[in-house]
């Protein structure tokens, strides 16, 4: 009896000691989770979220715009919670909390104490890119986590010399490949980092090849899907990249690494981490894991945030080096340096929260957020769009209303009408964008079309007998893609080319 009592007491003391050591990191992670939970029910679903919601209703092993993981998670949310924004976005919140905790764990694994762990965790918690990832359900939210977890497994491999960690690396890469294809470049950089450093010894072990085999096995269903569909995602990626370059979305790559991919006050941390990795024979692979994808994405003129998930491992290592270096300073310089760092980190992080998180439904904070975040503007107006379409349908003459269809120009319009339209007894939308195009047009084909997402010139070119029937969005109230680029709604006849030729010619990626 006494032995059992002592065992229970020791276990309780161990748990208390663990909480005492880690409560600062847990507190910052909990604060971020609470922030998103309290605010994620405001505004509405983002344009991209409507696409995930639509694809979640048509599960497959692949989609034109991305692998299947994200729609699969959204389908689970839909089945459990319906169209509840807070609940459906909770998976993204959990992913960001896990990213914060994993960054602290990396600092711990590389020898950092409580200060290094808390510093690394806070730098990620107050990073603008990471903050945004918790506000919406996006595949980038999970992509961010898989990169960090893969990096953490590599660090554990290098620190412990336990080759079984290769299996974990492969597992996280496999999850990443089922989420977003960009992690392939990180996977290649991991292999290069091992090959170009003394860690190349791991390449000769069976565990490395088992890890690679696991990653391949996990993404094999999607590879089969791609082969069956002519690798349409490659066509999509080429089209989107050309569009991004044409629209200037590749501009500002370097500057945005400092102000969006990171909290700018964390710059000394990740630079210190990069230098430390380059100088360390044991951890040098981390330097290649950052430098190679960063250089490739810059030369390829990719979007700036593709390399954002590679920073946490450097920040963790930089925090460890800072913890070891600070005690060598005299008292007053150390206090000044720490005060400036923490005030700047928290100050810029707070500014990012005000700009990226829907803190208020009206007032100065609401205005400030809409002015600084295009993404928040893309969360507004969707229920109004569906109501407008329903009103136009109801105003049609009986002979037109009897066989009406709704053609949309983008996945936001398509997803919102698919999910919200049934409440108004609207027919499923007809969309030519991404995976909706693969689902083809309805049979029998409608003879009267409500057309949204087209300007007047394009509508007249594509359809017979178009007439203006209504408007969608008001740029004086909300400036977003709907209100600025295609605010008009038309009623038209069938496609001029006939449905098969129309479907081929107007296939679109977005």
Inside any domain, residue 15? no
Asked whether residue 478 is assigned to any structural domain, the reply reads yes
Instruction: Say yes or no to pLDDT of 16 above 70.
Output: no
In terms of domains, do 434 and 345 share one? no
Q: How does residue 17 score in pLDDT terms, banded at 50, 70 and 90?
A: low
- Are residues 394 and 326 part of one domain? no
- Tell me how far apart the alpha carbons of residues 65 and 181 are, in angstroms, rounded to a whole number: 10
* pLDDT tens profile 167-195: 999 999 999 999 999 999 999 999 999 99
Tell me, yes or no, whether 71 and 37 share the same domain.
Answer: yes
Are 322 and 425 in the same domain?
Answer: no
Task: State how far the Cα of 461 lies from the Cα of 327, in Å rounded to an integer.
Answer: 71
Average pLDDT estimate for 198-203: 97
Q: Which of 415, 491, 498, 402 is nearest to 451 (CA)?
A: 491
Task: Tell me, yes or no, whether 158 and 230 share the same domain.
Answer: yes
Q: How confident is the model at residue 475, as a pLDDT?
A: 76
Classify residue 20: in a domain, yes or no. Answer: no
- Looking at residue 8, what is its pLDDT? 40
Residues 25 and 36: their CA atoms lie apart, in Å, by 17
pTM for this structure? Answer: 0.94
Q: Are 335 and 434 in a shared domain?
A: no
349 lies in the same domain as 397: no
Is 364 among the domain residues?
no
Q: Among 6-10, 37-41, 330-334, 349-353, which stretch is predicted with the lowest mean pLDDT?
A: 6-10
CA distance 14 to 4: 15
User: Is the pLDDT confidence value at 503 over 70?
Assistant: yes
Range of the domain at 452: 382-505
Same domain, 194 and 117: yes
- pLDDT band at residue 478 under the 50/70/90 scheme: confident
Per-residue pLDDT at 19: 67
Average pLDDT over residues 3-13: 43
pLDDT of 250: 85
Closest to 170 (Cα-Cα) out of 204, 224, 99, 219: 219
Q: Measure the N-to-C terminal CA separation of the chain; round to a whole number of Å.
A: 67
pLDDT at 7 over 70: no
* Interval 390-396 mean pLDDT: 97
Do 140 and 260 lie in a common domain? yes
306, 341, 356: which is the final residue of a domain? 356
Assess contact for 177 and 67: CB atoms under 8 A: yes
- Residue 375 falls within a domain, yes or no? no
Mean pLDDT of all residues in 333-353: 97
State the pLDDT at residue 138: 95
Inside any domain, residue 372: no
Q: Name 145's Cβ contacts closer than 8 Å, sequence gap at least 6.
A: 95, 96, 98, 99, 102, 309
- Tens digit of each residue's pLDDT (9 = 90 or more) over 297-327: 999 999 999 999 999 999 999 999 999 999 9
Instruction: Indicate if 89 and 228 belong to the same structural domain.
Output: yes
State the total domains in the chain: 2
Instruction: Indicate if 321 and 392 belong to the same structural domain.
Output: no
Domain check: are 420 and 464 in the same one? yes
Mean pLDDT of 290-301: 97
Is pLDDT at 4 greater than 80 in this prediction? no
Q: What count of other Cβ atoms lies within 10 Å of the Cβ of residue 471?
A: 12
The answer to whether residue 404 sits within a structural domain is yes
Rounded to an integer, what distance in angstroms lies between the CA atom of residue 136 and that of residue 76?
Answer: 16
Q: What is the mean pLDDT of residues 265-293?
A: 98
Share of the chain above pLDDT 90, in %: 92
Using alpha carbons, select from 145, 135, 125, 121 the residue that is nearest to residue 93.
Answer: 135
Average pLDDT, the chain: 95
Cα separation, 126 vs 355, whole angstroms: 12
Quick check: 3 pLDDT over 70? no
Whether the pLDDT of residue 62 is over 90: the answer is: yes
Share of the chain above pLDDT 70, in %: 96
Residue 5 predicted with pLDDT over 50: no
Distance of alpha carbon 95 from alpha carbon 345, whole angstroms: 22
* 10 pLDDT higher than 80: no
Residue 21, domain member (yes or no): no
Q: Work out the pLDDT band at 15, boundaries 50, 70, 90.
A: low
């Amino acid at each position: 009896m006494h032995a059992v009592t002592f065992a229970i007491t020791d276990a309780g003391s161990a748990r208390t000691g663990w909480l005492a050591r880690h409560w600062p990191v847990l507190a910052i992670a909990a604060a971020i989770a609470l922030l998103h939970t309290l605010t994620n029910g405001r505004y509405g679903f983002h344009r991209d979220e409507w696409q995930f919601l639509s694809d979640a209703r048509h599960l497959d092993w692949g989609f034109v715009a991305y692998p299947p993981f994200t729609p699969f998670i959204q389908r689970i949310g839909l089945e459990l919670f319906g169209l509840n924004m807070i609940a459906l976005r909770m998976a993204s919140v959990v992913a960001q909390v896990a990213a914060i905790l994993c960054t602290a764990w990396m600092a711990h694994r590389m020898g950092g104490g409580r200060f290094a762990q808390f510093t690394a965790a806070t730098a990620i918690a107050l990073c603008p890119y990471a903050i945004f990832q918790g506000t919406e359900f996006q595949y980038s939210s999970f992509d961010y986590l898989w990169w960090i977890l893969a990096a953490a497994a590599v660090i554990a491999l290098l620190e412990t010399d336990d080759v079984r960690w290769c299996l974990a690396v492969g597992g996280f890469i496999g999850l990443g490949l089922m989420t977003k294809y960009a992690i392939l470049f990180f996977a290649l950089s991991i292999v290069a980092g091992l090959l170009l450093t003394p860690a190349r010894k791991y390449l000769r072990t069976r565990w490395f090849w088992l890890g690679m085999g696991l990653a391949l096995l996990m993404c094999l269903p999607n590879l089969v899907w791609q082969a069956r569909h002519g690798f349409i995602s490659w066509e999509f990626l080429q089209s989107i990249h050309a569009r991004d370059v044409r629209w200037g979305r590749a501009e500002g790559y370097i500057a945005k690494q400092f102000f969006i991919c990171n909290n700018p006050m964390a710059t000394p941390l990740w630079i210190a981490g990069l230098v430390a990795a380059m100088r360390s024979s044991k951890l040098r692979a981390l330097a290649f894991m950052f430098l190679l994808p960063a250089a490739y994405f810059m030369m390829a003129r990719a979007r700036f945030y593709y390399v954002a998930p590679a920073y946490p491992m450097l920040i963790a290592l930089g925090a460890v080096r800072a913890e070891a270096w600070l005690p060598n300073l005299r008292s007053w310089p150390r206090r000044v340096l720490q005060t400036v760092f923490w005030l700047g980190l928290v100050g810029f992080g707070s500014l990012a929260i005000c700009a990226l998180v829907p803190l208020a439904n009206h007032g100065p904070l609401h205005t400030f957020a809409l002015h600084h975040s295009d993404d928040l503007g893309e969360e507004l107006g969707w229920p109004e769009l569906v109501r407008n379409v329903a009103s136009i349908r109801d105003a049609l003459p009986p002979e037109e209303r009897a066989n009406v269809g709704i053609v949309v120009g983008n996945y936001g319009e398509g997803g919102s009408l698919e999910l919200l339209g049934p409440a108004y007894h609207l027919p499923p939308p007809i969309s030519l964008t991404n995976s909706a195009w693969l689902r083809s047009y309805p049979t029998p084909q409608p003879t009267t079309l409500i057309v949204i997402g087209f300007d007047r010139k394009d509508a007249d070119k594509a359809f017979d007998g178009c007439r203006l029937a209504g408007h969608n969005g008001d740029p004086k109230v909300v400036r977003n893609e709907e209100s600025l680029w295609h605010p008009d709604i038309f009623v038209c006849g069938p496609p001029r080319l006939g449905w098969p030729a129309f479907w081929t010619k107007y296939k679109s990626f977005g």
